[in-house]
Amino acid sequence: MMELLSPAGGYEALVAAVQSGADAVYMGFGAFNARRGARNFTDEEFASAVQYCHLRGVRVFLTLNTLVTDRELPAAADALRRANAIGVDAVLVQDWGLLALAREIVPDLPLHASTQMSLFTLGGANEAAALGMERVVLARELSRDEVREICAGCKAEVEIFGHGALCMCYSGQCEMSAVLGQRSGNRGACAQPCRLPYGVDAPCRGAYPLSLKDANLSAYLQDMERMGVDCLKIEGRLKRPEYVAVVTGIYRRLLDERRLPTAEESAALEQAFSRSGFTDGYWLGRKGKAMFGTRPENVPEPKELFARARETYENGKENRKIPVNLRLTVRRGKPVRLSGACAVRNGVTIALATGDTPEEARNRAVTAEELAQRLSKTGGTVFTADSVEVELDEGLMVSASAVNGLRRELLDELAARRQDIPKRRELPASPLPDAPAGAERMAFTVSIARADQLTEALLAEKPAIVYIPAELLDTMDLSACAGRTELCAVLPRVFRTADEQPLRAILERHPEVTSVTVGNWGHMPIVRGLGKTLRGDLGLNVYNSRAVAFWRERGLTSVTASLELRWQQVRDLGKYADCEAVIYGRLPLMITENCVTKNNVGCTHGAGSVLTDRMGAQFPVLCAYGCRCEIENGKVLVLADKPEVFRCGLRYGRLRFTTETAEECAAILRAHNAGTITADADTTRGLFYRGVE
């Protein structure tokens, strides 16, 4: 049966999840998880929580799924070691450097690829599996047909989100909270700017074009099981324990009874939490305005529903009774023996307790029925006697206290074995080799969004690399570029399994394009074997030196530093590959499956739209590959007038052209070459000096 995975943002929520029927829980401790706003757990609480869960047959997954700086890696390594020693069942990761470190220092600890890795293709899922990931958590935006295709071909387990909040942006690709408020969603501190009002090609007047309803896929559980989904995740580590209990309990019943939710259950799910109801739009492949909704402030608590929920797990309520088969042997002249067995994941736990030799009865001999009745009294434990067998020679006597003592000893032993910590290796982390020196001089590269931006005037300024969206290549005459610059194809940040072969075919048709970007795990099957230079793009979220080394080992010649890093952090990156950073242009804030433009003003056939917030700030919305859209920052990043950008050891500084005219593109590159670029009120320094939480 499909595993039901529930959130545990604190100890009470953990108990609520377990007592409501979760097969597994996901939880965090420390600073390295994608819900730092949740209460989370101290080390001691976490160890206790793992024991609590394992006793009841519930698995525990630790979330270490945030981006980590070089300075934070030692603490993250300590968290991995603690998780390994405590006996967690798996760790979710996003950061490439942390992934490489985990494989080295705790090689036996199972790893899951977090949804923050932005996995949405079969190729990407299998790349993660080839790295040793036991499970991949797919992007929420996939349809059921796309999930089915991945399940059929993926070499790892597949987990999907079944209930709870939907991010407007693809997980792992959102920079809106970071750029606008220094609170990084990639580091567990998202301020949820998508829940605020915006206008689309109009002033902000209270519409919420970025606020998606919560997902509710409770009607499709049997479909998921048939297609091979291994795990259904309930989102909500910031939610109340009562919410966890209500939602987990309903999904537990639906899975066990293999049925659709009743009207009463659907109403309870909506009462527990919703935003103008729910959506199943992505699952059904139906995007549009119907997927959007808000939650008014001061929504009254569903007191009756939550009170009933608390009754199911508070005050030591134990719903997770473990069936035990007991067998008592009482033979004349031999010690009394009590054996017991209970099921555990993929096996059976067996224990044995031995007592004194039984005495001859002086008055009345004990009966098998009396012994069975005593053994059945398992109250105060998580066990319940499922079957009791008694082998008894006639005429013997065994005291009630002796039987009770054997029962307690046996059940204690079974409990201890269920909580056994697996034997796993813990190895030292090998230091990174000395990194090559960074580049002494930074060359300028340019990326274009439209074919008309690549002109003779731009080429005359001799950009080191011109990045061109792969989907534009067939529409462009690139002969004028021959021998003048490196042409690099930019693969789309978001695509689907069906796009893999068409994208590869485009690259094969253009030998004049000598390099290609890798911005997602799913790009690797597309580019492998083409003989082109591979360059890491922004979508990889390269955040630390081990991440640079990780991608260099996989054949990348250069990587692009995360735009969340301060200049000192960029400077200190080990330059195991050439490093690039965006130093000019509008920073990408979101890439969305739902088209903001089409939903609100109708399709503009590539022209995009403009998003306006409450303060009047405007954000261009550009069309992206596959009828998706990319929201750009309203202010243009300018860094090349600052000396620090030239002290970072960067091989390349990228000028990211989006809304600029062809004439502006050439003029801006010319100003960079001449050292005359300047900042004004409409420009920003981004996060180059501020960094993020």
Which CATH number is 276's domain given? 3.20.20.70
304 and 327 share a domain?
Answer: no
Q: Is the pLDDT of residue 241 over 80?
A: yes
**Under a CB-based contact definition with an 8 Å cutoff, are residues 113 and 133 in contact?**
yes
The per-residue pLDDT for range 614-673, each reduced to its tens digit, is 999 999 999 999 999 999 999 999 999 999 999 999 999 999 999 999 999 999 999 999
Q: Is 608 a domain residue?
A: yes
CB of 506 closer than 8 Å to CB of 471: yes
Same domain, 253 and 358: no
Kindly state whether residues 401 and 286 are assigned to the same domain: no
Question: Beta partners for 488?
Answer: 467, 515
The reply to whether 203 falls in a domain is no
Question: Is the same domain home to 508 and 589?
Answer: yes
pLDDT value of position 29: 83
Percent of the chain with pLDDT over 90: 94
Q: Are residues 251 and 339 in the same domain?
A: no
Q: Quick one: 573 and 478 in the same domain?
A: yes
Determine, yes or no, domain membership for 183: no
Number of domains present in the structure of the chain = 3
Same domain flag for 248 and 349: no
- Residue 273 covered by a domain: yes
Residue 89: domain span: 3-166+215-311
Integer Cα distance of 280 and 484 in angstroms: 50
Q: Does 275 score more than 60 pLDDT?
A: yes
Q: Look at residue 33 and tell me whether its pLDDT is greater than 90.
A: no
Q: Does residue 435 belong to any structural domain of this protein?
A: no
- Residue 325 pLDDT: 97
Instruction: Name the domain boundary from 280, 311, 342.
Output: 311
- Residue 663 has what pLDDT? 98
Environment class of residue 509 by beta-carbon count within 10 Å: exposed (0-12), middle (13-18) or buried (19+)?
exposed
pLDDT of residue 35: 59
CA-to-CA distance for 158 and 161, rounded, in angstroms? 10
Residue 73 burial by CB count (10 A; 0-12/13-18/19+): exposed, middle or buried? buried
499 with 585, same domain?
yes
- Predicted TM-score (pTM) of the model is 0.95
Residue that terminates a domain, selected from 287, 311, 335: 311
Q: What share of the chain is helix, strand, coil (3-state, %, to 5)?
A: 35, 25, 40
Domain boundary among 253, 278, 311: 311
Contact 655, 465 (CB under 8 A): no
With respect to residue 636, please indicate whether it lies within any of the assigned structural domains: yes
Query: Is residue 431 assigned to a domain?
Result: no
CA 241/CA 461 separation, integer angstroms: 60
Helix (H) or strand (E) holding 127: helix 122-130
Q: Parallel, antiparallel, or unpaired: how do β-strands 383-392 and 322-330 relate? A: parallel
Cβ distance 530 to 508 under 8 Å? yes
One domain for residues 158 and 297: yes
User: What b/e string do you get for 523-550 counting C-beta neighbours within 10 Å, with b at 16 or more?
Assistant: bbbbbeeeebbbbbbbbbbbbbbbbbbb
**Together in a domain, 411 and 496:** no
Instruction: Please indicate, yes or no, whether residues 523 and 451 belong to a single structural domain of this protein.
Output: yes
Report yes or no on 191 lying in a domain: no
Say whether both 329 and 305 belong to one domain.
no
Lowest mean pLDDT among 7-16, 32-41, 44-53: 32-41
Whole-number Å distance between alpha carbons of 231 and 24: 9
Give the closest residue to 139 by CA, choosing from 156, 160, 157, 158: 160
Number of CB atoms found within 10 A of residue 508's CB: 10
CB atoms within 10 A of CB 351: 20
